[in-house]
Amino acid sequence: MAWNLLAGLAGLTMTSCRSTGGSGGDAGTPPSVDLTVKPWFPPVVRQQGNSCAQQAGLYYLLTAERNRQRGVSSRTSPASRLSPYQSYAMLADNQAAGTHVEDGWQLAEAMGVPLESEVPRGGSALMHGFDKYVRAASRKPGRWQYWPMRAAGDLPAVRKLLASGHPLACDFQIRGAKLVKLPDGRSTLVKEWGTTGLGHTMVYAGYDESVGWD
Residue 31 forms beta bridges with which residues? none
Closest CA to 101 of 11, 164, 211: 11
pLDDT digits (tens, 9 = 90+) for 90-109: 888 766 777 888 889 999 99
Domains observed in the chain:
2-16+37-207 (3.90.70)
Question: Is residue 206 within 8 Å of 32, Cβ to Cβ?
Answer: yes
Q: What percent of the chain has pLDDT over 70?
A: 84
**Phi, psi dihedral angles at 156 (to 5 degrees):** -55, -35
Closest CA to 177 of 2, 30, 14: 14
172: which DSSP letter? E
Q: Is 0.85 surpassed by the pTM of this model?
A: no
**3-state helix/strand/coil string of 52-67:** HHHHHHHHHHHHHHHH
* Amino acid at position 118, single letter: E
pLDDT digits (tens, 9 = 90+) for 149-203: 777 888 888 899 899 999 998 888 888 888 888 888 888 878 888 888 778 888 9
Q: Is 35 in a helix, a strand, or coil?
A: helix
- The total of other beta-carbon atoms located within 10 Å of residue 190's CB is 14
pLDDT band at 130 (very low <50, low <70, confident <90, very high): very high
pLDDT digits (tens, 9 = 90+) for 134-148: 999 999 888 888 877
Residues 6+ apart with CB under 8 A from 153: none
Q: Is 115 in a helix, a strand, or coil?
A: strand
Q: How far is CA 126 from the centre of its chain?
A: 23
